[in-house]
Each structure stands twice: as structure tokens, then as C-alpha cells.
Amino acid sequence: MKQTKISPRHPRAESLRIRERLIEGYKTGVVATAGLVAHGRGEAFDYLIGEETTSNALKAMKVAAAMLLAAKHPVISVNGNAAALVAEDVVKLTKEVKAKIEVNLFHRSLEREVAIAKLLRDAGAKEVLGVGEASSAKIREIASERRRVDPKGILIADAVLVPLEDGDRTEALVKMGKRVIAIDLNPLSRTAQFATLTIVDNIDRAMPTLTKIAAKLRTEDKKKLGRLAISFDNKENLREATKMINGRLAALAKKGTYLTILEESKT
């Protein structure tokens, strides 16, 4: 497939490379049309947080890793965008925290489920739940097609990682008593607000970092991990993320030009 060539000297090379991966995912039937739009919304928030992992997100990742390691049935839920951007990291993380992978889509079609499962298997996944008839259970509280889940996965999970989402499912899963970890650049989204824990970061940066943190923590005592897992206040976490965006915007508003500030931070 012909891809747009991106010069490594382009000032926004990394961001453009991520876009290309999504566009390729769209062409191969992995990413939904709405997934491209959703990415644009994420990019806008990435500008606001400074396009880097904040100390706040790192703190959340440590607790997220503990939640997954302390869980009996951790599941990583994968949609089109997550598959196109971080399929390999998803597989690596499942190995560190002994989680299952389940495909769960908002814009559901068997073709997309199969294409996503193939991408995950090519990335090293041994088992992919939720494809076709496998998602035979229904969560009544969810209005969208996301209500269909795998009885071996999300239905019995006690901790679910949902890298970029729509809010209804997160709310329903939390109501069912599950711990829901969201990765979402937008701290104002319904998903971010309803989750047990929200990592306000780009999944492209967050997934490899979360995996490294989990690898370091996995030899810790389970009880200690359990205590760490319940030590989190998501309201406080979101307040910090919003305060950080607010502080950055206030500083930028004083200067007027964002690019000048970028230049100054390099010297």
C-alpha cells in the first residue's frame, strides 16, 4: 500500500507518522471512519498537554499497572484505533499482566473484528476473544453494539483496560463493579470522567510506558499491589490534568505565540 513519505526533518513528523498508521488501518478495514475523526479530537488535546507524558499520567500508570496485576481476570479491550496504533504493545502488556485480549467495537462488523484479530495475532497474540459468535453475552445496560461481550472475557473481568472509548460502556462496566482503566487524551470525555482511573495521555506513548511499569511491578507482593490499586482518586487525577492544561494555556496566553515558546524551551 502506497504511503505518504514523511521527511524526518518535518517539525511534526511523529504526529504525521501516527496519522499514516491510522489511515493505513482505515484502508485495511481495521479503523472505523469515525476512528479518524476521534483521532483528530485526541490530537487537539495532545497539543494542550504538550505532546508528552506528564508526571500526572505516569502516576496514574503506576496504579493502573497495579490494578491489572492485582486483578483475577484482567482484560484489555481493543477497538480499531488501538489495534492500528498499538497492537504490539497490547500483546506485550497482556504478557506482563497475564490479561486476556478482547475485540469490542462501537461500529461493529464481523469483517472489522476479523481484521483486528488478525492484526493482534500477527503481533503475537495467542488468543483473541470477542470475535463473531464468541461475543455471545449481552450487557443490558449498554445501548450500543458494545453490549455484546465474550463470556470468557469482559463479562467476567474484574479489571478492564479501555484504550480510547465511548463513555456509555465505561459507565456500565463501573456500575457492574469492574475497575475500568481508560487511556484518553481528553480529561473532559465521558469515558475519562466515568472510569475508575484515567491515564490522560496518547495511547501511542502510554501503552509502551505502562508495559514497562508493569514489568517492574510484577514481582511485587500481591497484597501490596492490591493496596496500591485502591489508593487512587480519579477526581483528583482529572483535577490535576485539567489544572496542568489550564496552567499551560495561561502561560501561552501571556506569550501569545506558541512556536516562540517551543523555540525558547529548546535553547
Binding site for ligand PTJ (CB under 6 A): 32, 34-35, 38-39, 41-42, 45, 79-81, 105-107, 164-166, 183-186, 189, 202-204
In the complex, least distance from residue 165 CB atom to ligand PTJ, rounded to whole angstroms: 5
In the complex, least distance from residue 267 CB atom to ligand PTJ, rounded to whole angstroms: 30
Residue with Cβ nearer ligand PTJ (47 or 258): 47
**Are 79 and 119 in contact, with CB atoms under 8 Å apart?**
no
In the complex, least distance from residue 192 CB atom to ligand PTJ, rounded to whole angstroms: 7
Element (H, E) at 36: helix 33-49
Cα separation, 162 vs 207, whole angstroms: 11
In the complex, least distance from residue 21 CB atom to ligand PTJ, rounded to whole angstroms: 10
In the complex, least distance from residue 223 CB atom to ligand PTJ, rounded to whole angstroms: 32
Residue with Cβ nearer ligand PTJ (32 or 67): 32
Residue 194 CB contacts under 8 Å (≥ 6 apart), including other chains: 167, 170, 171, 174, 180
Query: Distance of CA 173 to CAs 184, 189, 240, Å?
Result: 17, 16, 24
Residue with Cβ nearer ligand PTJ (15 or 252): 15
Query: Distance of CA 113 to CAs 18, 32, 33, 126, Å?
Result: 22, 11, 15, 16
Residue with Cβ nearer ligand PTJ (203 or 228): 203
Residue with Cβ nearer ligand PTJ (60 or 225): 60
**Are 101 and 127 in contact, with CB atoms under 8 Å apart?**
yes
